[in-house]
Amino acid sequence: MATLLMADGREFPITKPLTLAAMQSYVGGYIEIVRIGGSLDALEILILDEDGRGKAKPLNLEATRLYRGDPPRHGGIIVGDVIRCICTHMGTEDEAYS
């Protein structure tokens, strides 16, 4: 199940379908997808506002932790509200998010 990771630390399950319009509404802008794990058949991803830094959105500590990995692979950060989910069949007409 997809989860909304709020920049203030709160988390909420997302039960509605993740259409492009819904994703943009949750993150507050055009979306950017960042892979954080999984396999080619089921990618674990974060969906975020592609211009979150330009909009001076607050640091999202949980999303940043997930993005960096354990142990940390780099020092990148994630800002704003973020969707964490699994994407299956990425890049095909059967692409789905859960």
Q: pTM to 2 decimals?
A: 0.92
Averaged pLDDT in 10-residue chunks for the chain of 98 residues: 96 95 97 90 94 97 94 92 92 83
Domain regions of the chain by residue span: 2-79
The model's pLDDT over 57-69, given as tens digits with 9 standing for 90+, comes to: 999 999 999 999 9
List the structure tokens of 58: 């607050």
Residue 95: the pLDDT is 81
CA distances from 47 to 8, 30, 38, 72, 77 (A): 17, 10, 15, 20, 13
Query: pLDDT tens across 26-36, in order?
Result: 999 999 999 99
